Amino acid sequence: MKQIAIYGKGGIGKSSTASNVAAACADEGYSVTIIGCDPKSDSSITLLGGHRIPTVMELMQQRVEITEKDVVFEGYKGVRCVEVGGPEPGIGCAGRGIIVAIKMLQKISTVMQDCDLIIYDVPGDIVCGGFAAPIRKGLVNDTYVLTSGEYMPLYAANNICKGFARLGNHLNGVICNSRNADNEEAIVSAFARELGSDLLAFIPKDPIVQTCERAGFSVIEKEPDSDIAKVYRKLARSIMERDSACDPKPLTDARLRELTG
Partner 1 sequence: MSPAPKPLEPLIMHPRPSSIVAAMYTLRDLDVDVVILHGPAGCSFKHARLLEEDGLRVVTTALDESGFVFGGHDELVNILKKVIEMFNPESIGIVGTCASMIIGEELHEAVLEVNPDVPVIEVEVHAGYRENTKGVIIALESALAAGILSEEEFERQKVLLNEATEVEKRHGAASKEYLEPSRGDTKYAVAKRIIQLLKEDKKCITILNAKKETGYMFADINAAVNQVAKDLGSDSVIVNMANLDDTLGLDRVRAHARNIARDLRGMGVEVHEIIGGLDEYPVTGETVSKLIAEKYPGFDFAVITGVPHAIPMDNLEGMEIFSVTNGPRQVLPLKEMGHDHVMVEIDLHPKTLGVSNIVESEFGATLRELAREEM
Ligand X SMILES: Nc1ncnc2c1ncn2[C@@H]1O[C@H](COP(=O)(O)OP(=O)(O)OP(=O)(O)O)[C@@H](O)[C@H]1O
SS3 of residue 212 by DSSP: helix
> Taking CB under 6 A as the rule, which mask of x and - marks residues 26-65 in contact with ligand X?
------------x---------------------------
Q: C-alpha angle 84/88/91, rounded to 5°?
A: 110
Q: Which residues bind partner 1 (CB under 8 A)?
A: 54, 59, 62-67, 69-70, 93, 95-96, 99, 128-130, 132-133, 136-137
Dihedral angle computed from the Cα positions of residues 180, 186, 191 and 192, in that order, rounded to the nearest 10 degrees:
100
Q: Using the minimum distance from each CB to partner 1, give the nearer residue, 96 or 205.
A: 96
Residues 6 or more apart whose Cβ sits within 8 Å of residue 254: none
What does R_g of the chain's alpha carbons equal in angstroms?
Answer: 17
CB of 16 to Mg ion, least distance (A): 8
CA quadruple 200, 204, 210, 215: dihedral positive or negative? negative
Give yes or no: 14 in active site.
Answer: yes
Give yes or no: 38 in active site.
Answer: no
CB of 38 to Mg ion, least distance (A): 5
Q: Using the minimum distance from each CB to Mg ion, give the nearer residue, 18 or 99.
A: 18
Q: Does 205 bind ligand X (CB under 6 A)?
A: yes
**Residue 172, by phi and psi: left (phi above 0), alpha (psi -120 to 50) or beta?**
alpha
| Among positions 123, 134, 153, 173, the unique one binding ligand X when judged by CB under 6 A | 123
Helix or strand (DSSP H, E) at 6: strand 2-7
| Residues forming the active site | 9, 14, 40, 125
Binding site for ligand X (CB under 6 A): 8, 10-16, 38, 123-124, 177, 203, 205-206, 209-210, 213
